[in-house]
Chains A and B, each alone.
Chain A
Amino acid sequence: MINLSSQFSMLLLALIAAIFSLIGLFAPNPLRSKQLSVMSSILVVLGVFFVASIVLLGTESDLIGGLITSIDVERNHAILLLFALVFSIVSFGFIFTSPMIMTGNLDRFQTLWLLSSVLMFCSSTDVRFMLLAWLLSIVPAMVDNTSGKLKLQITKHRLFIFSQLVGLLMISIGLAIAYNMNSAGKPAETSYIFSHFIRVLLRSNGFSTLATFLIVVGLLMRQGVFPFHQGFISLINKGKLPYSVLFLCSQLGFLLLLLLKNDFQEMSHVFTHQTVLAYLATFSAMYFALLSIVEVNIRKNYLLLLLMHSSLTVLLAATYGGVAQSALYVDIMVVLLVGGGLGLVLWLFERRTGVISATKYLGMAAKMPILSCFFLVFGLGLINFPLTLSFISEDLLLHGVLKHYPILTTLILIAFVITGISFYHFYARLFLGTPLVNISRRDILRNEAMALILIFALIIFFAFSPSILLKVASHEKSMLSYLMMGGSSLY
């Protein structure tokens, strides 16, 4: 009999993922290719199984014929667990396709390391631990193998690394200010729990505003909202696509913001911040939408689609009410699932064609009809098409935010219209027209199709049963106070 807490089991998985990622980096040749991918896939499947059972079965469950009993889980933790589950599945998509196209070990290392970091992040409610996980998630960007040898390479992604580190620093300082103001140098038992900090912020004056400012700006830097998006552009242009996509989709900043948000709403003096945030989000959305019209670089076009959603998420975060909060969580899942799926398709496309920018019609649908269908479906999923999850987030945006910010919501919707038009043009340039590029590979391989179908099935599942996501989000709201009072077993 093994008694495991949800956090502990996820930490264990995070550790195993980290070990695998290091094996992937330094293992001898025979282990590097197919075997390692299979092992990694098994690891991720195990992770998915663990987390799924925790989310679906809850407390006191008998798993694997009684081998693991009494999994201790707080249902209020479900918001992070569900995210970890879905993130594992999306990562699985990238890892599962690796035997065929993941040529370098760097891809595998980065993917597994990031998975490890996200699992660490989601396994905790301790802010120090979360920030450590965040810091660790940046590490893969510092490793490079372009010259044929693995080496530490900081200058290549300096902008990205710098912006993330500054973001982390700002949040850390913000939280430290709040901590010190409260306990006057005497750490309380629950000092590191979010609500504690926020309660402190509520009671204080100038410093609390500074602390809130630092926390919020740090989170915005993590998410690449205007004007902090250049790091992501640098990462996606020069970095490995799987890591870039998964990092973009991991949405750790917004998860943190979601956890903080309940208490933010109680802070009357933060109202100004929220209004400023809403305006910034709208401006940011319009900015990225306009950029997407003129962009011909495929990776950057994809990035702009995701950044548009990041802006929408900020608007949702800056809005009062349960509908907006649920929409925020749904949109986080949209970015993870749909963005991850589209990123995977893009990676497969890039590997086959070597095309990095589309200035005229490439006509690849004739060569890769199934891949083009997946591209279209995932892309429509990002522009709020019906029958996809993003339609629900758009619907909730309309009904939750419009009454608070009618003009800003209208502008955000206009930005979505522009993005929709530029996405269709993006699709048309890559897949329609007379075929211009010759490719030797097949349209799509079985394992690639399986990975994509898995992600697609999740999108459809959540689109047709959004209640699961919405219940998790609303449950989180009511139970968060319990969690904040020390419900987590990590303390």
Chain B
Amino acid sequence: MNIEVLTEATAFSVIVVPLIFFALIAAYVALKQDHSEKVLIRTISFVMLTSFILSFLVGIYFVFSDAHRFVADFGTWYQLEDYKFNVSFIFDSLSIPMLILSNFLIGIVGHFSSRYLHKDDGFVRFFLLYLLFSSGMSLVIVGATLDLIMMGWELVGISSALLIGFYQKRTGPVNHGFKAFSYYRVCDLGLLLAAGFWHMAFESSNLSVLSELGGGIQYSAEIILVCVSVFIASLAKSAQLPMASWLPSAMEGPTPSSAIFYGALSIHAGAYLLMRMFPLIEGLPWLRVFIGFVGIATAVYGAFVGRSRNDIKTLLAYASLSQVGIIFFEISLGFNRLALVHLIGNSLLRSWQFLSSPSLLHDIHILKLPANTSSRFLSLLPHKMRYWIYRQSLMGGNLDSAIFKLIVTPVVKLANLVDGFDKRWLYFIDDETLEQSTRIDIPTSKETSDGIILNIRQ
């Protein structure tokens, strides 16, 4: 088979086909108000299997060819003056392993979910969001322009937030979904700006300009802003400090979604983006030092806080956080290959751990596994310090409180101020009675630790 046809078929299969089936299934269920789980699962399994086989074939082709990359070009989506929105996908030594991993894990988790969510009210909703996520993640992995990556990035974000709030009749998951969505929006801003500044710097949206430039990059203000924006985007997506607190809250979603999002793929999207942009970041030592520092700090934070948790999913979330921190550190040192291997290994291990977490008690009992281990290192520390570390770990390092104090509270105060001004402005020009204030209360620390960002009361 011609490699161009193969890459185009793969790109179509991993990105467009899930979206088509998303639309078809949604329309079918809306019209019929009924569905067969078996048919749904078979359809989705077929889509995922095809995607996996095609991406695997591209991988084999890549291994036995001399090419450094394959590009699947679908032309221009739209064009205006000097601006073109190119739809092209890149298959190289970075994206191919990630794509194979992604399709493999999505397929496995889909199969697991078909039994795990059997007869659940949200069965169809779960698989619709699963298809949306699959398409978005593939776009992030193979997108050859920042605009395409941004599209995938937002698809992953909304599917993630809606899956965290999957059990939508309970307020806890809904609040946590909202919290994750808020963090994601902040990181979307980073990627949006990166795309804009990239175009200003290179007069093109294509990432392949990096390889054309080679090592001779002149670091203008725009390029530096691209790097910083990409870093901000990856911080929130990969739950690195100081944006780490949403990850444990995200465990409210169904276990399969936790596995695929926060154990395997979504959590690593930030690290992947940094690896993709590394040729640009490479020449900015201060940024690399900062990335490394954030990575190490997150790794330590995750290790300590994770040890203070007593439910398996939260513990795994912090373990995942820790490992991604180390991956960030590896990237900052320029060990991209090691980071990729680490990423793949961590994804596989965490997926397995998440998927087997519901049967943990059974495993402990039957296999006689140790339920907990204590650290010998910690026992060497003075009692007071151990107590302080434990207390800080229990409180999650007060991250939520800090974010609330520094960001949410001022914004809400400002919003209330603007609201008050607006009502007075209305009163001034129309002499209408001032409506009863609809101010929102700033959440208390207890509420913030429960993950409630905005608690609106009249």
A residues neighboring B (CB under 8 Å): 158-159, 227, 230, 233-234, 287, 290-291, 293-297, 321-323, 326, 357, 359-361, 363, 365-366, 370, 373, 380, 385-387, 391-392, 394-396, 398-400, 402-403, 409-410, 413-414, 417-418, 420-421, 424-425, 428-429, 431-435, 449, 466-467, 470, 474
Contact A294 B151 (CB under 8 A): no
Contacts of A425 in B (CB 8 A): 178, 454, 456
Q: How far is the CB of B44 from chain A (nearest CB, A)?
A: 19
Contact A391 B151 (CB under 8 A): yes
Contact B196 A399 (CB under 8 A): yes
A-B contact pairs, 29 of them (CB 8 A): A158-B430, A234-B426, A290-B419, A291-B415, A296-B458, A323-B81, A326-B80, A360-B457, A361-B174, A386-B151, A386-B152, A386-B155, A387-B151, A387-B155, A391-B151, A399-B83, A399-B196, A403-B200, A414-B189, A417-B186, A418-B411, A424-B161, A428-B165, A428-B177, A433-B168, A433-B169, A433-B171, A449-B30, A470-B79
Q: Of B19, B81, B168, B415, which contacts A294 at CB under 8 A? A: B415
Contact B80 A385 (CB under 8 A): no
Question: Quick one: closest B residue to A443, CB to CB?
Answer: B33
CA distance A316 to B181 in the complex (A): 28
Q: Of B79, B154, B178, B414, which contacts A428 at CB under 8 A? A: B178
Quick check: is B188 within 8 A (CB to CB) of the other chain? yes
Contacts of B418 in A (CB 8 A): 287, 290-291, 294
Contacting A at CB under 8 A, from B344-381, are none
CA distance A323 to B150 in the complex (A): 20
Quick check: is B409 within 8 A (CB to CB) of the other chain? no
Task: Name which of B78, B150, B174, B181 has the most chain A CB atoms within 10 A of its CB.
Answer: B78
Contacts A293-B415, A399-B196, A424-B161 given; 20 further ones with Cβ under 8 A? A230-B430, A287-B418, A291-B418, A293-B411, A294-B416, A294-B438, A295-B438, A359-B456, A359-B458, A386-B154, A396-B83, A400-B80, A413-B193, A417-B188, A421-B181, A425-B178, A428-B177, A432-B168, A433-B170, A433-B171
Q: How many A-B residue pairs have CB under 8 A?
A: 151
Contacts of B416 in A (CB 8 A): 294
Contact A398 B192 (CB under 8 A): yes
Q: How far is the CB of A413 from chain B (nearest CB, A)?
A: 6
Contacts of A234 in B (CB 8 A): 426, 430
Contact B456 A323 (CB under 8 A): no
CA distance A294 to B408 in the complex (A): 12
Interface residues of B, CB < 8 Å — how many? 58
Task: Decide: A291 near B422, CB < 8 A? Known: A230-B430, A359-B457.
Answer: yes
Contact A434 B85 (CB under 8 A): no
CA distance A337 to B439 in the complex (A): 31
Q: How far is the CB of B208 from chain A (nearest CB, A)?
A: 18
Contacting A at CB under 8 A, from B77-94, are 77-81, 83, 85
Q: How far is the CB of B304 from chain A (nearest CB, A)?
A: 30
Contacts of B79 in A (CB 8 A): 467, 470
Q: How far is the CB of A287 from chain B (nearest CB, A)?
A: 6
B166-193: CB near A (< 8 Å → 1, else 0) gives 0011110010011001100110110011
Contacts of A290 in B (CB 8 A): 411, 414-415, 418-419
Contact A322 B178 (CB under 8 A): no
Contact A370 B30 (CB under 8 A): yes
B416-451: CB near A (< 8 Å → 1, else 0) gives 101100100110011000000011100000000000
Contacts of B170 in A (CB 8 A): 433-434
Contacts of B262 in A (CB 8 A): none
Question: Quick one: closest A residue to B426, CB to CB?
Answer: A230
B143-161: CB near A (< 8 Å → 1, else 0) gives 0000100111011001001
Quick check: is B195 within 8 A (CB to CB) of the other chain? yes
CA distance A291 to B423 in the complex (A): 11
Q: How far is the CB of B444 from chain A (nearest CB, A)?
A: 17
Q: How far is the CB of A428 from chain B (nearest CB, A)?
A: 5
Contact B456 A429 (CB under 8 A): yes
Contact B429 A398 (CB under 8 A): no
Quick check: is B412 within 8 A (CB to CB) of the other chain? yes
Question: Quick one: closest A residue to B125, CB to CB?
Answer: A369
